[in-house]
Amino acid sequence: TQLLEQSPQFLSIQEGENLTVYCNSSSVFSSLQWYRQEPGEGPVLLVTVVTGGEVKKLKRLTFQFGDARKDSSLHITAAQPGDTGLYLCAGQAGSNYQLIWGAGTKLIIKP
């Protein structure tokens, strides 16, 4: 069974602090996606990483795909209250259409 474990499950920090969220698996993924979801809404895609070791930046968010394509991290610099939400990672293995989802990291940024 393929699993994606996200950590931490919950994080509450002050505005301006930095944070890192992790997504780990023992399985290899052909791609990995990060989503952000706000209460009562569907997940919104932030980024897709495909190549081992790949780093992508989206303003203050930096996403990294592990060299072995088994893990990924999301780093937020100088967090702002608008970053509050549920961050989900989802991996796709080979040609299988199914996404394997992590349980999410609930992030709260306090002003």
Partner 1 sequence: DTGVSQDPRHKITKRGQNVTFRCDPISEHNRLYWYRQTLGQGPEFLTYFQNEAQLEKSRLLSDRFSAERPKGSFSTLEIQRTEQGDSAMYLCASSLAGADIQYFGAGTRLSVL
Q: How many residues bind partner 1 (CB under 8 A)?
A: 24
Question: Distance between CA 101 and CA 5 in Å, rounded?
Answer: 9
Measuring CA to CA, which residue among 66, 68, 60, 72 is closest to residue 19? 60
Q: Find the binding residues for partner 1 in span 19-38 (CB under 8 A).
A: 30-31, 33, 35
Give the integer Cα–Cα distance in Å for 83 and 69: 26
Which residue, 78 or 108, has its beta carbon nearer to partner 1?
108
**Stretch 72-111: interaction string toward partner 1, x if CB under 8 A:** ----------------x-x-x----xxx-xxxx-x-----
Residue 48 CB: number of other CB atoms within 10 A? 15
Contact footprint for partner 1 (CB under 8 A): 9, 30-31, 33, 35, 40-45, 48, 50, 88, 90, 92, 97-99, 101-104, 106
